[in-house]
Structure 1
Amino acid sequence: MTNCTITSDEINYLIYRYLVESGFKHTSFMFQHETHILQNSNIKTENVKPGALIHYLQKGLLYTEVEYHANEDGTEKHCIAPFSLLTPHHCKTEEDDDDKDNNDTDYSINTSLNNKLSNNKRNRKERKSDIKRERKSDKRIKKDNDESTKDSLNESEDIEVDIENSNNEQETNLISQKDIVNFVGNDTSVYVCSWNPVEPLLATGSKGTASIWTVPESPNDPIKPPIILDHKQDNKEVPDVTSIEWNPSGTLLATGAYDGLARIWNKSGQLVHVLKKHTLPIFSLKWNFDGNLFLTASVDKTVVIWDSRMGEFRQQYSFHSGIYLNNIHRPVMDVDWKDNTTFASCSTDKQILVCQLGSLKPLKRFIGHEDEVNIIKWDPESSLLASCSDDRTACVWSLDQDDPICTLKEHKKEIYTIKWCPNSTKTKILATASFDCTIKLWDVMNNICLYTLRDHNEAVYSVSFSPNGLYLASGSFDQHLNVWSVETGTLMKTYIGESGIFETSYNKKGDKIAVCFANCEH
């Protein structure tokens, strides 16, 4: 038998990967900061598959179950008691059930036994199904990279045709492989992407690098090698690229990274400015409407406004630094512009602030969420601000009042992201995506849930509306990209990738969708 040694560093790295893949950005940062796991040269990470921690836990649990239910002669003990990772196991056989209920009527005996047998079979079936999915996933991940899915791009004309088919035939159509363009990058997960608003260029960010891809007109056209934007500084560790966005004119690309630096590149891949003011990782980055300023939000609890032309900071805001708990940093999670000089920020301190360039204090402070605020978005008219939180709610705020104008409460788990529907003429529609595997479309002015979109079976990390507001794309860690009808809530198109999805994004024309996958593919 081979000698199997498991180190604490290996366990720490699997936990770190689980936190990253589950979307716990600040928790994963603090964990790796304290364990120094990314600085450990003995840890080989290139072959670690997505979902590795759950995979090994499932195998360990299966082995433990087999060990519990093996008799001394090697035969299997037919136990009908449920087996759990967290509770002690006490075997129970069908004979035990018969003895216990011997004084009941035949009807009650049969009913009770049948229910337990049914539940036991269902539990076993679910466990086998989980193991089967893991094995299939392992086989898929071992495929050659050229056969894997990177950025999923589909023509809107095909979607429109299939919408008619779906409405008439009540069936969902898979996006054909012929409509897919695969961009093969490096060997790390792709976290973020941004479409150039003017040219057919797509920027993607991953560990240590960003790439600029030229998107072919047709999936059959050859793919040019990407322009690589190297983020390594001196002899320091290569940082993850956490945020990326083109300016409105499509001439400059801004990136934010785990090293706390913001960088500005031109579309040819030349580094224009390196901007240093933050002391900890950058989580969010946004250009204003004119493209002369952009915002960065950091784990260091501050927001910075940068002048993109001069490569200098204009103002640093530290209004989220007041609440501090157990010596843990309270990161600013997201920022969004209201206009060219006014913006909102949200934090794990449960607060939302509206600030303005030149002002030394916030214009407005919204307090109402009971847990960390993850994302904020101004509506297309910049009159209402939406927010979502780990408290399982989304709120819509107006500068005219302190309390939210509505609180959306129907999700069962944390709400990870939100998006406003563009070009909505009848009402203001907000999409919320949650760890409860659902997306909800809301009529916010009437505080009504229009549709609950239920096809995903794992956490939904990203949603993106088409520019005309007719369709919604959603990406989940169940490997599925789904395209929905906003008008009817119907699932129109599905693409099944090779791993979990971090981000989905429609281009400006609405004829393509970019998808970032966790298995180093996009």
Structure 2
Amino acid sequence: MDLLEGNFKLNEIQKLEGHTDRVWNLAWNPATGISGIPPMLASCSGDNTVRIWQQNSFGTSWEFRSCAWSPCGKLLATASFDATTSIWANVGGDFECVSALEGHENEVKSVSWNPAGNLLATCSRDKSVWIWEVLPGNECECLSILQGHTQDVKMVQWHPFLDLLFTCSYDNTIKIWAEDGDSDDWHCVQTLNQASNGHSSTVWALSFNSTGDRMVTCSDDLTLKIWESDPKATPPAGDGFVPWRHVSTLAGYHDRTIFSVHWSREGIIACGAADNAIRLFVKNEGVDGPLMKWLNAVQWSSQGTRLLASASDDGTIKIWELASVA
């Protein structure tokens, strides 16, 4: 992967203000931004609120209307420092909490929906990962508690097409979990660590490409790493799982912790770090990002690369548009 430069730039469209503390994370609603439906974005903050923003019908500004969306875009799951996870539904134009999940001993760090929207994964400072089944009526039941990590689990992320769960941790590893078809138990089928050319410090986040055969991870070791599924490898679990292998390492672009990374549908990787920069990468092609206060998250719009959202310690969200340089 090469740093994207020369022919593109990021134009700031709008700064979204309203949170009174740092913005930790954000998520685009996958059912918006198409067929005339204005894009919608959720953000969560240290001020203990989740805010939902939607572009107005004229496409000129973003407005406050009332942080992982379900695949259908109808439910929003939020993870909290109070060790709970809440599921919210749009009821008559207002978002109401329809389910509260309890069980973790410490703050819940991340939440993610599987591709079908019937499973939810959560992770915590208590080193555990929980898998929940979403039942009719939006009730949730814990299916499995995964205990493989030895330190805080920073992020959970389902594969975009398969029921494979990827987790990254303060223990410097990425673990991949699959369900045992015979027992219905979930187990670790592969661990990506330093022995497999992995990270040497905390792994903060990961993201998949549009075809699901590659992923990118970011770390406190100041690197991005590209991984791919290797169909020629022998499945470690012997159950048809395709193992992942290291492809390349991107180093020397950030000089402080890389907290967030997201791979767009068109193949552009965006990453945000504590050095206040957004950087964009593309494969085998040749913009440094604009400066802001400490960046906690970046995410491309689910419908393409035109819009990029970033969340910052200054309590704001910025919306950027990727544009060509004439």
TM-score by length of 1: 0.48
In the other structure, the counterpart of 1:133 is none
In the other structure, the counterpart of 1:182 is 15
Matched, 1:335 2:156: yes
Q: After the TM superposition, which residues 183-332 of structure 1 pair with which residues of structure 2 at under 5 Å, given as runs?
A: 183-199=16-32, 200-207=39-46, 208-216=48-56, 221-227=60-66, 244-267=67-90, 268-280=93-105, 281-300=107-126, 301-307=128-134, 309-320=136-147, 331-332=152-153
User: Any gaps of 5 or more consecutive residues in structure 2?
Assistant: 33-38, 233-244, 318-326
**% same residue:** 20
Instruction: Give 1:348 deviation, angstroms.
Output: 6.2
Give the structure with the larger helix fraction. 1
Q: After the TM superposition, which residues 386-397 of structure 1 pair with which residues of structure 2 at under 5 Å, given as runs?
A: 387=192, 393=194
Matched, 1:485 2:282: yes
Q: After the TM superposition, which residues 43-442 of structure 1 pair with which residues of structure 2 at under 5 Å, given as runs?
A: 166=6, 175-176=10-11, 179-199=12-32, 200-207=39-46, 208-216=48-56, 221-227=60-66, 244-267=67-90, 268-280=93-105, 281-300=107-126, 301-307=128-134, 309-320=136-147, 331-337=152-158, 343=165, 352=175, 354-356=177-179, 362-366=185-189, 387=192, 393=194, 407-409=196-198, 413-423=201-211, 428-441=213-226
Q: Which of 432, 452, 456 lines up with 2:250 in the alignment?
A: 452
Q: Indicate conservation of the 8 Å contact 2:85/2:100, yes or no.
A: yes
Distance 1:334 1:463, change over 3 A: closer
Instruction: Give 1:216 deviation, angstroms.
Output: 4.5
C-alpha distance in 2 between matches for 1:292 and 1:508:
20
C-alpha distance in 2 between matches for 1:415 and 1:502:
14
Aligned residue pairs, count: 287
Distance 1:276 1:441, change over 3 A: closer
In the other structure, the counterpart of 1:152 is none
C-alpha distance in 1 between matches for 2:250 and 2:174:
28
Q: Indicate conservation of the 8 Å contact 1:287/1:295, yes or no.
A: yes
Structure 1 SS opposite 2:289? strand
Amino acid in the other structure paired with 2:118: N
Give the structure with the larger strand fraction. 2
Q: After the TM superposition, which residues 460-475 of structure 1 pair with which residues of structure 2 at under 5 Å, given as runs?
A: 460-469=258-267, 471-475=268-272
Distance 1:342 1:455, change over 3 A: closer
Q: Indicate conservation of the 8 Å contact 2:119/2:131, yes or no.
A: no
Structure 1 SS opposite 2:62? coil
C-alpha distance in 2 between matches for 1:431 and 1:335:
14
